[in-house]
């Protein structure tokens, strides 16, 4: 699987988890924290989440607190019109997707509301390359 596809899948899973967690907190008002695994399952109990995560390739368990805002973004909300690319942004996309331009890439990904598995330079390059291919 290409790096871009992996990041799109990770973003999709993140949206699914955010939606599940939000719905869970709406239904179970008494719980203040839940845990999710890398494949999108949500658990009330940290031990259960960790035990299940041991069966996965990605053993990450993420805590979610009711007090934190969880934003679910529908694909329809993400449009190029929501952010106007500057000339500097266009130049960065054309020829500047390199680790040395990390801060600019991070800012552009944030402005475009692009989801990524992490904020490592390699991941941002892959996500922005995927975005550039959609233009």
Task: Verify that 37 and 88 share a domain, yes or no.
Answer: no
Task: Verify that 88 and 127 share a domain, yes or no.
Answer: yes
pLDDT above 80: residue 13: no
Are 17 and 40 in contact by the 8 Å Cβ rule? The answer is yes
Q: Supply the pLDDT for residue 11.
A: 53
Q: Choose one of 65, 91, 113: the last residue of a domain.
A: 65
Q: Choose one of 12, 45, 65: the last residue of a domain.
A: 65
pLDDT band at 5 (very low <50, low <70, confident <90, very high): very low
Q: Choose one of 22, 47, 65: the last residue of a domain.
A: 65
pTM: 0.43
Classify residue 88: in a domain, yes or no. yes
Task: Verify that 49 and 93 share a domain, yes or no.
Answer: no
**Dihedral through CA 12, CA 35, CA 39, CA 70, nearest 10?**
0
Q: Supply the pLDDT for residue 74.
A: 45
Mean pLDDT, all residues of the chain: 76
Are 22 and 42 in contact by the 8 Å Cβ rule? The answer is no
Sign of CA dihedral 55, 58, 59, 61: negative
Nearest residue to 113 (alpha-carbon basis) of 75, 87, 67, 86: 75
Q: Supply the pLDDT for residue 40.
A: 81
pLDDT digits (tens, 9 = 90+) for 85-130: 888 888 888 888 998 988 888 888 888 887 777 788 888 888 888 8
Classify residue 38: in a domain, yes or no. yes
Q: Supply the pLDDT for residue 8.
A: 45
Please tell me what DSSP assigns to residue 101.
G
Q: Which has more confidence, 67 or 128?
A: 128
Classify residue 70: in a domain, yes or no. no
Classify residue 107: in a domain, yes or no. yes
Q: Which domain holds residue 32?
A: 3-65
Tell me how many domains the chain contains.
Answer: 2
Q: Supply the pLDDT for residue 79.
A: 44
């Amino acid at each position: 699987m290409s790096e871009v596809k992996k990041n799109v899948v990770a973003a999709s899973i993140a949206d699914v988890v955010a939606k599940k967690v939000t719905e869970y907190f709406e239904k179970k008002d008494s719980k203040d924290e839940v845990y999710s695994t890398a494949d999108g399952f949500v658990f009330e109990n940290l031990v259960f989440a960790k035990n299940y995560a041991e069966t996965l390739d990605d053993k990450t368990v993420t805590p979610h607190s009711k007090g934190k805002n969880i934003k679910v973004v529908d694909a329809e909300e993400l449009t190029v019109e929501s952010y106007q690319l500057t000339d500097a942004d266009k130049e960065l996309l054309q020829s500047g997707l390199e680790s040395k331009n990390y801060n600019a890439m991070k800012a552009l990904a944030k402005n475009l509301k692009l989801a990524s598995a992490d904020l490592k330079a390699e991941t941002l390059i892959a996500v922005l390359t995927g975005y550039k291919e959609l233009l």
